[in-house]
Chain A
Amino acid sequence: MRLHPQLSLLVAGAVAPVLVLAVAAGALLVRHERQTMQSEAIGRTRSAMSAVDAEIRGHFTSLQALAASRNLETGNLAGFYDEAQRVIRSQPDWLAVRLALATEKQLFDTRVPLGGDVPPVGDVTSFRHAVATRQPVVSNVDTDGAPPVVRMRVPVVLDGVVRYVVTVQATPDRFSGVLRAQRVPESWVIALVDGNRRFISRIPPLPPGQKISETFRAAIDHAPNGWFAGETLEGTLAYTPYVTSELSGWVMGIAIPAVTVDAAANRTVIGMGAGVAAALALALLLGWYMARRIAAPVAHLAAATAAMGQGKDVRVPDPSRIDEIARLHDALRTAAAAVRERSDLQEREKAALQAADRAKDEFLAMLSHELRNPLAALTAAAHVVKLAQPASEAAVKARGVIERQTKHMARLIGDLLDISRVAMGKAAIERERFNLAKVVADVINVWRASGRLERHFVSLGASAVWVDADRARIEQVFSNLLDNALKFTPPGKRVNVSVGPEGDQAMLRVSDEGEGLAPGMTERMFDLFVQGARGLDRSAGGLGVGLELVKRLTEMHGGRVSAASAGIGQGATFTVTLPSVLPSAEQAAPFDSAPRGAARQVLIVEDNDDTRAMLHATLAFSGHDVREARDGTSGLALAAERAPDIALIDIGLPDLDGYEVARRLRATPGGRKIGLVAITGYGQPEDQKRAFEAGFDAHLTKPVAPERLKQVMAGLR
């Protein structure tokens, strides 16, 4: 069932008892009005009857006054006749006065001269009644003569015997005036009826003596006073109250048309009906309005919910003023938002999955390319080795290719294994406390020495900061960042490395002036397989796993890694932060507090101004006598002036290389006693071996840590 009829029913149900009460009250009101009208009508009828009785009594009084005449006592009939004639002249309604003996012998009639022929007494019943009761009597209408008359008789009692009866004949019209005086409305009927149920007088008029209606007659026969409903002689339906006079036995009736009686009740009933109808209409209207207010938002919400179910865009309607609906509305809006969010999330996840899938495909294509290329070179080189003379230049070159490409492949495979080990969480971390700045500087020195930095300006800003980490892994992290920066930075541009404490963190930052990153790429940079737009461009090389490795390794150490770029062409900055720790006691001990050895003569041969200055400052601070040279020739010259106790010799010198300088120093007089220390970026075992063969006593890898330098120097004689 729909809401609208339900609510209408509800309102109608609430209104119904009120309506029933109202109808009952209305019915009571109608009844009361009818009763009031009835009693008023009856009262009016009574008063009309009383007026008639008073009229009759007036006649009786006048008649009795006449009957008290002495002429009757004395038997002077002539005198009484004259007296009667006089009286009749003063009573215009009196047609005649008659005198009769109680024996019904008529003596005179004023219309007939005394002694003339007189008519009989007429209406014997009333005559005898008067004689018997000795009371005045009024007769019924006598229509025998013309005009019809009513008679009032007064018995005359002389010496205790009824001797005479004086009678007055009057026209029934005498009572019309009384009826008229009642001033009933025109549509009504007022009638005076005698004991024979004949009209004495009536308004509207009918001939006196005409019989009343059977209904009226039956009513009077049933009860002397009362009320009946029936048609008048004119055929009008009417309610008629009537009263019977005890004095005359006459009946007074006033017929009130039913239309008039019912009109009031009808007005009440119609008023009530209109009220009920209005109340019902209002109930329906109210139901309809409420249903609209509830149903319309509900319908909107239903439509919105259906739309939501079909996955369409949901337009939630304006909130309703009805709290419950408003709550439903809120709930739907929340649900719609949640659904939208979820579908958005699904879209994003789907997109991410597709991107990951694409990245994987690209990675596989690139991996295929990266592994096939060295294989192709190896295959061709093997072909050359097979066919060419072993000592020929072609064979030598081919062997070089095989060596390089094998290493390259080994590195690629190593990277792959690394990333898979780390990705599977199988990489173990062996923690130790070390100075991050030193590790970074070491890597840079090794790379510089190997020529990998020669196409770029690479600078390092370092201050000591200690971390508790796996040294080899951290080296790997930095190497990957540096490799990445070099790969994506055009030759001749700068790569800046800075390392040091930042709050309670150790910060390592690599900034380049390279291609930069597109907005949105900074987050994805560390995802597996993702590389910039360079795609399969081999000059960038690598497997795209480096940054992923950086991220994984850093996170394994409890650190974080981030990428930033102002945009394409704006360069990029990669920052690694690791928790910093306090250095262990022995490491922290400043090297100048170590027990001072005897001051020594130290010669530094180093072409790099920074390194030379740093070594000079360190040694001078420790109290040694330091001299320095920029190249091998001037170094040898200084040694010839005065042989040093110790010589620190850079291998990569502009003129002679470090090995040559060492050999020549050893060849000088006293050269055997000089402690020779090689300073080199080459840290491989074969490099050391070569240094020892050249006569060096010790081998230090750049950058030279002061404490290491002290250890080495202490180890020399």
Chain B
Amino acid sequence: MSDSPRLLVVDDDADMRLTLKLSLELAGYAVEVAANGREALEVQRMRPANVLITDIFMPDADGFEAIDSFRREFPRTRIVVVSGGAQFTKRDYLPDAALIGVDATLQKPFEIEALLETLKALPAA
């Protein structure tokens, strides 16, 4: 595995996908994108990523379902959850992350630097 891990960004909003991909590529990551959980699984099977960055609320397959599928099929993949919902407001992320079995959570909007920090802090896969 190379120094810059492969990332898979899943978001149903095209602009969000695009900006995250551009930002992370600027930071040196190789980035794949998918619009939903199902698409993400297909991409992952073809070009496995080390870290999944996914929104929680998406059509077709709910983000939670996608996370569940990844957990079972790709247990070594680290998962970062981003969400604009109120579910994670004013809370310490870690307990929630532990609760749903993901490695980190970020609330939208977030600074790209914060995301980069989070990625760096992830335990090596």
Contact = CB atoms under 8 A, between A and B. Distances in A.
A370 B84 CA distance: 7
A380 interface: yes
Contact of A376 (B26, B57, B82, B86): B82
A373 B84 contact: yes
A485 B20 CA distance: 31
B59 interface: yes
Contacts of B26: 383-384, 387-388, 394
A397 B13 CA distance: 15
A381 B13 CA distance: 13
A375 B86 contact: no
B19 A538 contact: no
A405 interface: yes
Nearest to A375: B109
Contacts of A380: 16, 19-20, 22-23, 112
Q: How large is the interface on B (under 10, 10 to 19, 20 to 34, 35 or more residues)?
A: 20 to 34
B58 A383 contact: no
Contact of A397 (B18, B58, B107, B113): B18
Interface string B99-114: 0000000011111110
A372 B57 contact: no
Contacts of B110: 376, 379
Nearest to A540: B59
A9 interface: no
Contacts of B32: none
Contacts of B89: 368
A404 interface: yes
Contacts of A372: 84, 107-109
Contacts of A662: none
A372 B13 CA distance: 12
B59 A376 contact: no
Contacts of B18: 377, 397, 401
Interface in B2-26: 12-13, 15-16, 18-20, 22-23, 25-26
A184 to B, nearest CB: 124
Contact of A539 (B12, B19, B86, B113): B12
Interface in A382-400: 383-384, 387-388, 394, 397-398
A364 interface: yes
Nearest to B116: A383
A379 B108 CA distance: 9
Contacts of A376: 16, 82, 84, 108-110
A36 B103 CA distance: 128
B61 to A, nearest CB: 12
A377 B13 contact: yes
A328 interface: no
A377 B23 contact: no
B85 interface: yes
A398 B19 CA distance: 6
B84 A369 contact: yes
Contacts of A368: 84-86, 89
A207 B108 CA distance: 147
A375 B85 CA distance: 13
B13 A373 contact: yes
A388 B22 CA distance: 9
A536 interface: yes
A700 to B, nearest CB: 34
Contacts of A429: none
A378 interface: yes
Contact of B59 (A365, A379, A383, A539): A539
B102 to A, nearest CB: 18
A537 interface: yes
A471 to B, nearest CB: 33
B111 A379 contact: yes
A380 B16 CA distance: 8
B111 to A, nearest CB: 6
Given A365-B86, A380-B22, A537-B57, A373 B16 contact: yes
Contact of A384 (B22, B58, B86): B22
A598 B13 CA distance: 56
Given A376-B16, A377-B13, A405-B15, A397 B22 contact: yes
Contacts of A394: 22, 25-26
Contact of A375 (B12, B108, B112, B113): B108
B86 A383 contact: no
B85 A365 contact: yes
Contacts of A539: 12, 59
Nearest to B84: A372
Contacts of A375: 108-109
A369 B107 CA distance: 10
A381 B59 contact: no
A369 B109 contact: no
Nearest to A370: B84
Contacts of A537: 57, 59
Contact of A401 (B15, B83, B87): B15
A377 B57 contact: no
A384 B107 contact: no
Nearest to A366: B85
Contacts of B15: 374, 377, 381, 401, 404-405
A383 B111 contact: yes
B13 A538 contact: yes
B32 to A, nearest CB: 16
Nearest to A369: B84
B111 A538 contact: no
Nearest to A378: B109
Contacts of B82: 376
B113 to A, nearest CB: 8
Interface centre among B13, B89, B107, B110 (most CB of A within 10 A): B13
A394 B20 CA distance: 11
Nearest to A373: B84
A388 B18 CA distance: 14
A323 B10 CA distance: 79
A537 to B, nearest CB: 5
Interface in B46-97: 57-59, 82-87, 89
Contacts of B57: 369, 536-538
Contacts of A374: 15
A397 B21 CA distance: 11
A601 B89 CA distance: 68
Nearest to A381: B19
Given A376-B82, A379-B109, A401-B15, A538 B59 contact: yes
A392 B113 CA distance: 21
8 contacts: A369-B57, A379-B110, A380-B19, A380-B20, A383-B23, A397-B22, A537-B59, A539-B59
Given A384-B19, A538-B58, 16 more contacts: A364-B86, A365-B86, A368-B84, A369-B85, A372-B84, A376-B16, A380-B16, A380-B19, A381-B19, A383-B111, A383-B112, A384-B23, A394-B25, A397-B18, A401-B15, A405-B15
Interface of B: 12-13, 15-16, 18-20, 22-23, 25-26, 57-59, 82-87, 89, 107-113
Interface of A: 364-365, 368-381, 383-384, 387-388, 394, 397-398, 401, 404-405, 536-539
Q: Which 5 A-B pairs have the closest CB atoms?
A: A372-B84, A380-B19, A376-B108, A375-B109, A376-B109
